[in-house]
Amino acid sequence: MIETEISRVILEEYNRRLLEHLENDVVIVGAGPAGLAAGYYLAKAGIKTTILEKKLSIGGGIWGGAAGLNVIVVQDKDILDEFEMTAKRQKGLYVIDAIEFAAALAYKAKKVGAEIFNLMEAEDIILKTEAVEGVVVNGTAINIAGLHVDPFCISSKYVIDATGHPAEVVNMLKKRRPELFPKGIQESFMDVETAEAGVVEKAGEIFPGLYVAGMSVCAVFNLPRMGPIFGGMLKSGKKVAELINEKIQSADA
C-alpha cells in the first residue's frame, strides 16, 4: 500500500540519518543565526556536524525582525554574499528581509552537508571527566507534553552552545558547577557596537569541549545585548567553526 510505503521510506531515512549522527565531530545546539553559520562553515570544511533545534522550525529569533516587523540589519556585506542574500544599503547599514535571511542560512547549511534535527531538545551534557563529550537529548514534544520519559545521548568531540540569550548548554554546566561562573550568565545593557565586536572576539572554547557562538557569548562574558542586527552572529558562528576546524586538522595531522 502506498500509504505505508511512504511511512516506511520516511522512517528508514530518518533512522539512517539519526543512527549515523549518534556520534559526531561537532554538535551544535540551536539552529539560529550563529548555529546555522557555524554548521555551514564546519560542514563545508568536511567536518561531521549535527545541529539540534528544539523548535519545529529553524531560524531562532530571525523571523520576527524587530518587534515582529520582518526586516533585519547587518553591517557588512561580505558574509551576506557568502550566503547569496540580497540586501539593500540604507544609512550605512544593510537591511534584509528576515525570511530570506533565515531561509538562506538553512538552505546553504543543508546544501554543504550539515545535518539538522528539529523538535529535539538538549537537556543535559555528557561529562565524565573534565571535558564535554556530547549531549543528552529528548523530543521537544515529549517535554511540552510533560511526559516522564528518559532521554537518549548524542556524542561529539565538540559541542557548540548556539542557543542565544539563555545560553542553555552553558547553564547545564553551571547547574552543577556554579563556581565556574562567579559573575553569572547574563548579558549586559543594550550597546550595539560593543556587542557586535565582542560577540566575535570572545567566541570560542570556554570549557574543554564546549564552545560558545552568538548571543550565548554575550551571556557568558556579560557583554551587552544588541537587538535585530545579525552580522556579528554570523561572524561569531564562523569564528567558532574555524577554531574547531583548526583543532581537528592539527589533531588529524
Which residues inside 181-240 make contact with a copy of itself, applying CB under 8 A? Answer: 186, 188-194, 224-225, 227-229
State which residue, 224 or 241, has the beta carbon closest to a copy of itself.
224
With beta carbons less than 8 A apart as the criterion, state whether 45 and 109 touch.
Answer: no
State which residue, 78 or 91, has the beta carbon closest to a copy of itself.
91
Query: By C-alpha distance, which of 181, 143, 138, 167 is closest to 52?
Result: 138
Rounded Cα gap, residues 73 and 62, in angstroms: 10
Q: Does 22 bind a copy of itself (CB under 8 A)?
A: yes
Footprint on residues 57-116 left by a copy of itself (CB under 8 A): 57-61, 63-73, 86, 88, 90-93, 95, 97-100, 102-104, 106-107, 110-111, 116
DSSP letters, 62-116, are STTTBTTB-EEEES-SHHHHHTT---EEETTEEEEEHHHHHHHHHHHHHHTT-EE
State which residue, 191 or 242, has the beta carbon closest to a copy of itself.
191
Rounded Cα gap, residues 243 and 203, in angstroms: 9
State which residue, 171 or 194, has the beta carbon closest to a copy of itself.
194
Q: Does 8 bind a copy of itself (CB under 8 A)?
A: yes
Helix axes of 33-44 and 231-252: crossing angle, nearest 10 degrees: 30
Binding part of the chain for a copy of itself, among 10-18, 38-46, 203-211, 234-242 by CB under 8 A, reads: 10-18
State which residue, 131 or 243, has the beta carbon closest to a copy of itself.
131
Footprint on residues 113-132 left by a copy of itself (CB under 8 A): 116-119, 124-128
Task: In angstroms, give the least distance from the CB of 252 to a copy of itself.
Answer: 20
Tell me whether strands 93-97 and 23-29 are parallel, antiparallel or unpaired.
unpaired
All three cell numbers of 123: 537537556
- Phi, psi for 71 (deg, rounded to 5): -135, 140
Q: At 174, is the secondary structure helix, strand, or coil?
A: helix
Task: In angstroms, give the least distance from the CB of 106 to a copy of itself.
Answer: 4
Q: Does 43 bind a copy of itself (CB under 8 A)?
A: no
Binding part of the chain for a copy of itself, among 18-26, 41-49, 205-213, 245-253 by CB under 8 A, reads: 18-26
Q: Does 37 bind a copy of itself (CB under 8 A)?
A: no
Burial 149-171 (b: 16+ CB within 10 A, else e): eebeebebbbbbbbbbbebbbbb
